[in-house]
Amino acid sequence: MSTGGRVLVAALLVAAIAGTMYEPMSAAGDREALPAQDPAGAVWVIPVQGTIDLGLAAFVGRVVKEASQADAALLLIELNTFGGRVDAATDIRDTLISSSVPTAAFVQERAWSAGALIALAADTIWMAPGSSIGAAQPVPADEKTVSALRAEFEATAERAGRDPKIAAAMVDAGVVIEGLVGEGEILTLTAGRAVEKGYAEGIARSREEVLSALDVSERRVVVAELGWSERMARFLSEPTVSQLLLTLGFLGLIAEATSPGVGVPGLVGVVCLALFYGARMIAGLVGWEVILLVIAGLVLIVLELLVIPGFGLAGLAGAGAILWSLVVSFGGNGEALRSVGISLGLTLVGALLLWRFGRRAGLWRRVILETRLGGEGGHVSAPDHSRLVGRTGVALTALRPSGAVEIDGERIDAVSDGGYIAAGRQIEVKLVEGTRVVVREVKGG
């Protein structure tokens, strides 16, 4: 199979695997997490623990929708988090504010950074002894980011009748509140200070005490839980894991596209990309349109390589479609651009290292199937091109880096030694490794 054909097959496999992973989130979500009886008038508890990410935002959105449809009496958000993604916290904040069900936050240990914004979005805040809230300075702490997040905190605090200046001091080290926080400091409130300053309604040692204080202790409690698919989606959509999946996925496809046969690198690349996009589909962060965009981009690149070489428009359009799908998958903001940039940078570095050292060490021969089955009688030995080393010929197609050349009247599939070689240029065979013929352009030829 040609390089372009293998890449296209890989794209279709990405869509197929992602599709099998995708489970649309119905109103009932994962059934085993909820009681069988009608939960009307119940208190719904949503645990917000660990890193705040886009998968968690999708989970909270699903549960809030279900609670509203079930005519819940209260949504209790139980918080214990050091923070996480600002865009995910903002999504959760908007979900809670727009909820038709009354909301309360219970800070069990800490609600720092993005967790503080989620707590402030609740109608009431309750804190356990020894807990704290605040420490929300963004990273990077540039003026634009600080200003935007400070406004978000102030608006959220004002909505519930809390002092916006205290909320601003949690984000901006330039805010000074006499007796509370000095210049250059970021505000974090203990449970006692939060009650004293009107940022918490009271201190409670347990969920039961919170429900008793809100006069709903007699209500049945429904504890929402992440289903197995949501747990997997949260792990795979975590920024570091996502960047690793993308890097391995691209490196695998690059290795497969520049080597004969279907081997381990191509399989690894397809699986990693399927996990990347599939996790986001499960979490409800992207839809099928993103997968179709990826396939369209790869098809355009294949067309550029094999059908309409030389102009570059199809290739550029294909690369643009794939990049856009990545930006959308990461949330479509500045943080998304940083994540995509990191992944592409790691891919470039990895590809250069593999190109320089992998082939010299015979790495590909250990992981790639270099023999092929063909002919009517079964196995046919690959032709021996070792005799061509040092011979010259002409490029029949453009080599980017693969293509076709003619040597002594024979058409041969070849790859360039790293640079682009236009069709019609004179070439010289530099190296032969099995069925792989490496050529370089003869300058002035």
3-state secondary structure labels for all residues of 360-420: CCCHHHHHCCCCCECCCCCECCCCCCHHHCCCEEEECCCECCEEEEEECCEEEEEEECCCC
Asked if 31-225 and 386-441 have one fold, the answer is no
Q: What is the pLDDT of residue 71?
A: 93
Mean pLDDT by 10 residues, the chain (445 residues): 48 48 40 43 94 87 94 96 90 95 97 96 97 92 91 96 96 94 94 95 96 94 85 78 84 70 71 83 75 82 65 75 80 65 79 66 49 48 75 87 86 84 88 85 76
Answer CATH for 386-441 from 3.30.365.10, 1.10.10.60, 3.40.50.10880, 2.40.50.140: 2.40.50.140
Q: What is the pLDDT of residue 36?
A: 39
Distances (CA, A) of 400 to 4, 421, 422: 12, 7, 9
Say if residues 430 and 403 touch (Cβ distance below 8 Å).
Answer: no
Sign of CA dihedral 385, 386, 391, 395: positive
Domain boundaries, the chain: 3-8+234-363, 31-225, 386-441
Answer CATH for 31-225 from 1.10.150.120, 3.30.450.30, 3.40.50.360, 3.90.226.10: 3.90.226.10
DSSP state of 105: E
Q: Which residues pair with 429 in a beta bridge?
A: 439
Residues 6+ apart with CB under 8 A from 168: 150, 153, 154, 175
Sign of CA dihedral 190, 196, 201, 206: positive
Instruction: Write out the two tokens for 312.
Output: 């570059």
Q: What is the pLDDT of residue 150?
A: 96
Helix or strand holding residue 305 (H, E): helix 288-306
Say if residues 166 and 134 touch (Cβ distance below 8 Å).
Answer: no
What pTM was estimated for this model as a whole? 0.63
Respond yes or no on whether the N-terminal peptide bond of residue 47 is cis (omega within 30° of 0). no
Q: What is the pLDDT of residue 195?
A: 96
Distances (CA, A) of 427 to 65, 173, 180, 407, 434: 64, 63, 75, 9, 19
